Amino acid sequence: MSTEPALTDLSAAVLARGGELRAGGTDTTARQRSGISPGPFTDLGGVGHLRGCSPLPGGGLRIGALTSLATLASDPQVRDGWPALAVSARAAATPQIRAAGTLGGNLLQRNRCWYYRNPHIGCLQKGGTDCPARAGDHHFGVVSGNGPCITPHPSTLAMALLTYDAEAEIHGESPRSVAALYGDGDRLHHADHLLPPDRILTSVRLPAPLPGERAACHRATSRAHAEWPLVEATARLALDGATVTHAAVAAGGVARVPVRLTEVEAVLIGREATPELLAEAAATVLDRCRPLPQTGYKTTLFHHTVLEVLEQAVGRPGGR
């Protein structure tokens, strides 16, 4: 008989204690240390069946929510079949964080706004009535979107999973798209995702891979290592010769939530992947930019990041 704690018991414990769930602990520990998340915490670490990858009928893959980023970056079946996820996991954070951080924790982490992270300052994310970043220092804020909170969601893996139309499995509920965890972002006034605190993300489902698909992830940061990206993008492409037959592109750091760049995809599909085409496709992101007073630099950075990731994905140096 299994000695693992039941998920229903864990979610009930969270409600009874008034705390929150903890996965790898890389974010909850930081928030606990800063004083904005005092706990108590209910650890998911003992639920072993939430770890690892298993095949699905039809060629898909289920990934447990406690699977580490390091595993996603190094697992041969993920690297070969779902390269956009593998390269994005490899790009995230530091080796130490990747070893401890989990898929579920990355998807459901809290934002990095310094006003939110300061226990002495009120904000929408902590039940306040306004966003102090909007009138304050917001040079890491969004360049697209109209919501009252202007801090981008930091999940690199959510961005990658958008390119697969991946599904999230929630204990006791029907699967929903990963995109539905966040909505359009304008609703995220008091949280960084739409999953209720008593619900447990158990796994993510990926569809069967495309034959010969290629992928790349590119992050624009203010320093070379151990830095949160200012802008990041992931591209997943399939080519027949030089013609793009499939394109899925997503970006992070530019809006309240990771976003799928359907305008870029529409330009690419069915056309020859020339440098001119890639430049035309990347330039379409400029139309969605509505920068704040301090985020105008992200307009150019967003454009250049998308162009770079497309160039890598079609096979330029650094692409897969």
pLDDT of residue 130: 93
Domain 214-313 = CATH 3.30.390.50: yes
Return the domain boundaries, the chain: 52-206, 214-313
Q: Measuring CA to CA, which residue among 268, 191, 213 is closest to residue 37?
A: 191
Measured CA to CA, the distance from residue 176 to residue 204 in angstroms comes to 10
Q: What is the pLDDT of residue 183?
A: 92
pTM of the model: 0.93
**Burial class, 265, CB count within 10 angstroms (exposed 0-12 / middle 13-18 / buried 19+):** buried
What SS3 class is residue 31?
A: helix
CATH of 52-206, one of 3.30.465.10, 1.20.1250.20, 3.40.50.2300, 3.30.1130.10: 3.30.465.10
- pLDDT averaged over 10-residue windows placed end to end, the chain, 320 residues: 72 73 88 87 85 96 97 96 96 89 95 94 93 95 92 96 98 94 87 89 96 94 75 97 97 97 98 97 97 97 98 68
In angstroms, the CA 200 to CA 107 distance is: 12
